[in-house]
Amino acid sequence: MRIAAILEYDGSRFAGWQLQTGKRTVQGCVEEAFSKVADEPIRVTVAGRTDAGVHACAQVVHFDTSAARTSYSWARGAVSNLPPEIAVLWAGQVDTGFHARFSATGRHYGYFILNRPIRPTYLAKRVTHEYRPLDVERMQAAARHLVGTHDFSSFRSVECQAKSPTRELRALTVDRRGELVRIHAYANAFLHHMVRNLAGVLTDIGAGERAPEWAREVLNARDRTRGGVTAPPDGLYLTAVEYPEAFRLPRLSAGPGLW
């Protein structure tokens, strides 16, 4: 049978999602936990791999198993075998046609910036710190140049292995609550480092280093060297993954509780 699960994790103490020899990864911990519940080796497929330091509110995985367990047993059993930085919010049997990555129709990310002169304390590793005052209206004006279906070569890392740089960026919004600035990005899929590179461009524009039109120039250049700095991973969260209603996955929290 095929089992799907929705995970939440704090990525600050992991070397990223993907298995890496000799390193602590989210995938390694999740597979070990589900293997203990199933009493057989489990290998999971994920909706979207996250980098070191990146968090998730509703990451989705699936795996195949011959073990018969209730939804409650899958979720609670895995949680009891996971480190405190990872939780299984839901787990249950799904149609064998479901695929955590290829069945997804959309993904949402939130990037959170603490915008004040002094660095964060209890929010360290959970938000990015920017000491320069950010003009949210300038950032939003720049974001409008990037929405749509484009070649995002200027916003992908040089290590990106995607076959095509074209993505449909369905929404890119910037808003503020007090000292906290949030960038919300919604697309059919994202390239490696794409959200962090978008955040880097928007931050420089918000700080007055560049004009809002620079975002369009970077996009049209299709050249990563024209895209400015890659923003830190600390404030980045995978907040939701969308699937067709036919798969009946529950819709869970779409944010880390900062907003």
Percent of the chain with pLDDT over 70: 99
User: Which residue's entry shows tokens 């075998």?
Assistant: 81
Active site includes 39?
Answer: no
Which residues of the chain are modeled with pLDDT < 70? 253-254
Domains of the chain, residue spans: 2-103, 106-238
pLDDT at 258: 74
pLDDT at 214: 97
Whole-model pTM? 0.94
Domain 2-103 has CATH 3.30.70.580: yes
Q: Which of 10, 39, 51, 151 is catalytic?
A: 51
pLDDT at 254: 64
Distance of CA 12 to the CA centre of its chain: 13
pLDDT at 140: 98
Q: What are phi and psi of 127, to 5 degrees?
A: -135, 160
Q: Can 2-103 and 106-238 be said to share one CATH topology?
A: yes
Distance CA 79, CA 86 (A): 8
Domain 106-238 has CATH 3.40.50.2300: no
pLDDT at 252: 74
CB 51 within 8 A of CB 232: no
**Is 109 annotated for ligand binding?**
yes
